[in-house]
Copies of this chain bind each other. A is one copy, B any other.
Amino acid sequence: MAQAQDMSTAEWELMRVIWTMHEAGSSDIIRVIHGKKDWTESTIKTLLRRLVNKEVLITRKVGRKFIYQPLISEDDAMDQMTAETFDRLCRMKRGRAITKLVANTTLSKTDIQELQQVLAEKVATAPEKVACDCIAPMSCENCEGHPAMV
C-alpha cells in the first residue's frame, strides 16, 4: 500500500500539485509548476519516476504519454504523515504538543467547531493521565509515576 512516509519532502510537494489536479500528464504538471517552483523539467520527471517506483502514483499509458494518478488520497497521506510525526513524540507529551500546534495554527470557525465536537466526545473516556513512554523515563520530572532507572 502507498505509504506517505515513503515520500520525501520534494516528492510531497509534487504530490500536492497532483492531488489538486486529480490526474495529469507530465507536461501538464510541468506547466502548472512552471514559475511557482524552480525545478527543471528533469527534476520533475525524476520525482515522478520515483513516486511511481514507490507506488504512490500509478500511470496509465495514453498514446506515448503517461497519465499520473495518486494511489493514495491527500487526506489519507496527511493523516499518515501527521500520525507518524506524533508517533515520534513521547505519548505523554503529545497533548501539549497538539495544544501548542493548535495555538499556532489558523483555524476557521468550522474547524474549531469540529474540533470542539471531537473533544467533547473524547472527554468521557479520557484517562486522568497518559503515561510517558520514553526509553529512559528515569529523571523525567513529568514522569513521577514511573519505574526509576538504575
**Contact residues of A with B, CB < 8 Å?**
9, 12-13, 16-17, 19-22, 32-33, 36-37, 74-75, 78-79, 81-83, 85-86, 88-91, 93-112, 114-116, 118-119, 122-123, 126-130, 134-140, 143, 149
- When C-beta atoms are compared, the residue in chain B nearest to A9 turns out to be B88
Q: Is the CB of B74 within 8 A of A81?
A: no
Q: Are A118 and B99 in contact (CB under 8 A)?
A: yes
> Interface residues of A: mostly helix, strand, loop or mixed?
helix
What are 16 A-to-B residue pairs whose CB atoms are below 8 Å? A17-B135, A20-B143, A78-B100, A81-B89, A82-B85, A82-B101, A83-B101, A86-B105, A94-B105, A98-B111, A99-B115, A107-B126, A108-B128, A109-B127, A110-B129, A116-B116
